[in-house]
Amino acid sequence: MPSDTRAKMVAGAADLMSRRGVNATSMRDVVRHTGTPRGSIGHHFPRGKQQLIEDALVFAGRQVSGPLRHLTQEHGAISGLRAFIALWRQTLERSKFQAGCPVLAVAVEQYVNDATEKDGEPDEAAQKRLLDLAEGVFADWQAIMIAAMRREGVAAARARRLAALVVASLEGTVAMCRAARSIQALEDVRLELELVLSGALAK
């Protein structure tokens, strides 16, 4: 079972990534942010920052997939999505629009590992590993929405396309809300997604 210190560092790294991005989140920052002993870095993350970022990415994915799966199973695709978007609204407002999605941060940044960087060149192997993990997280979120829509009779191909639309829309909208420091875009997208899903479920 993971230690409390390790779990705390992983969650703290995910939080910092959501606010600052990947490369601006250092091991020192995570230690300071979580109040954990600096000596615990080597013990819990022998592969250094890359391992911590990987674990934080998986953690962030589960933080979304757990509530999304529960809400769609309990309330159906549309009501579940509505409740899930409300959780994103809380996250944005609580953080004063500073927190975004750490998975998106991984997907859009070119990862540089301070420990292995040579002549300013990025770590290509680490980049591929992180992108593969991010792709897996996005695929998991889409699979949850696909399953929710399939339970309500949406054809497999349409459910797949709609799930991609939902995930892409929310990822982009969260970034828009952070830039505008306003929740309006999230409300607009919620209404439109509900209309689209309602039309698909009615057929």
What total number of domains does the chain contain? 1
From first to last of its 203 residues, what are the pLDDT tens digits of the chain? 356 989 999 999 999 999 999 999 988 999 999 998 887 787 888 888 899 999 999 999 999 999 999 999 999 999 999 999 999 999 999 999 999 999 999 999 988 876 544 555 678 889 999 999 999 999 999 999 999 999 999 999 999 999 999 999 999 999 999 999 999 999 999 999 999 999 999 77
Per the domain annotation, does 33 fall within a domain? Answer: no
- Where in the sequence is the domain holding 82, given as residue range(s)? 59-202
Per the domain annotation, does 50 fall within a domain? Answer: no
Per the domain annotation, does 41 fall within a domain? Answer: no
Per the domain annotation, does 36 fall within a domain? Answer: no
Per the domain annotation, does 84 fall within a domain? Answer: yes
State if pTM tops 0.85.
Answer: yes
Q: How far is CA 49 from CA 45, 113, 147, in A?
A: 7, 7, 35
CATH number at residue 158: 1.10.357.10
